[in-house]
Amino acid sequence: MVEESSGRPIIEVIHLDFYYGDVRALKDVTMEIKARRVTALIGPSGCGKSTFLRLLNRMNDLIPGTRVQGSVMFDGMDLYSDAVDPVEIRRKIGMVFQKPNPFPKSIYNNVAYGPRLTGTGSRDELDEIVVRALKSAALWDEVKDILDRSAMELSGGQQQRLCIARALAMEPEVLLMDEPTSALDPIATAHIEELLKELKKRYTVIIVTHNMQQAARVSDETAFFFMGELVEMGPTERIFTRPLVERTEHYITGRFG
């Protein structure tokens, strides 16, 4: 059940099915993602939420034997059209993974890696991109004097914010986050959650989380998945206080999951 809400949809998913071989992992999902909001995807393990997240920037293309039926529209463009370049899609729809995965390079070169790969060669231009991305990821003040040091020397929370900066350096429109705080301590988690409130002023953020309290704290919209189906979606406050579907209430109140 999808509830209408105000705001421009940046992503529209229409009757989407997804298969791993013969296994149908997502079943007839239809939903809209609003621009410049945080949308949380919740549901028990194995319900399809991470699979759905990876669909949005065609990361599942890298898994042999997968196929998609239905449409995923991004700003009016069908992401699964033969005319669409998946690499370009991943530039516009960036991703941050569950565990921080910085490259074994300097802090500077981690952030500059993507822009350099896509043809930004000028040092002045790269400097500007690196500073802007690190500031956007709320990391600049902590690393501005150690940019030449290995990213592997940073704490787990700092590494995750560096990975966010690396994604932001490509100037995406959408940022996908797959349980970005599950490997972090409570203080580092709080930093990321605070950062999300700032990021949504410029970006559309979609986050998978197992943490109900986190979803309630950081998101504007929440989508509940169960056994490959989208059960209910709507404003987070309503989903958590007045869900329309009994299964949603049972999951949020801890009766299963």
The CATH number covering residue 18 comes to 3.40.50.300
121: in domain: no
Domain count, the chain: 1
Q: At 118, list the tokens.
A: 């896509």
118: in domain: no
- Write down the pLDDT at residue 21: 95
245: in domain: yes
154: in domain: no
19: in domain: yes
- Write down the pLDDT at residue 119: 86
Q: Phi-psi region for residue 197, left (φ > 0), alpha (ψ -120 to 50) or beta?
A: alpha
26: in domain: yes
162: in domain: no
Per the structure, the complete domain to which residue 248 belongs is given by: 9-101+174-252
One DSSP character per residue, the chain reads -B---SS-EEEEEEEEEEEETTEEEEEEEEEEEETTSEEEEE-STTSSHHHHHHHTTTGGGGSTTEEEEEEEEETTEETTSTTS-HHHHHHHEEEE-SS----SSBHHHHHHHHHHHTT---HHHHHHHHHHHHHHTT-HHHHTT-TTSBGGGS-HHHHHHHHHHHHHTT--SEEEEESTTTTS-HHHHHHHHHHHHHHTTTSEEEEE-S-HHHHHHH-SEEEEEETTEEEEEEEHHHHHHS-SSHHHHHHHTTS--
66: in domain: yes
Question: What are the residue ranges in the chain where pLDDT is below 70?
Answer: 1-6, 257
Rounded-to-integer distance, Cα 218 and Cα 52, Å:
20
- Write down the pLDDT at residue 2: 45
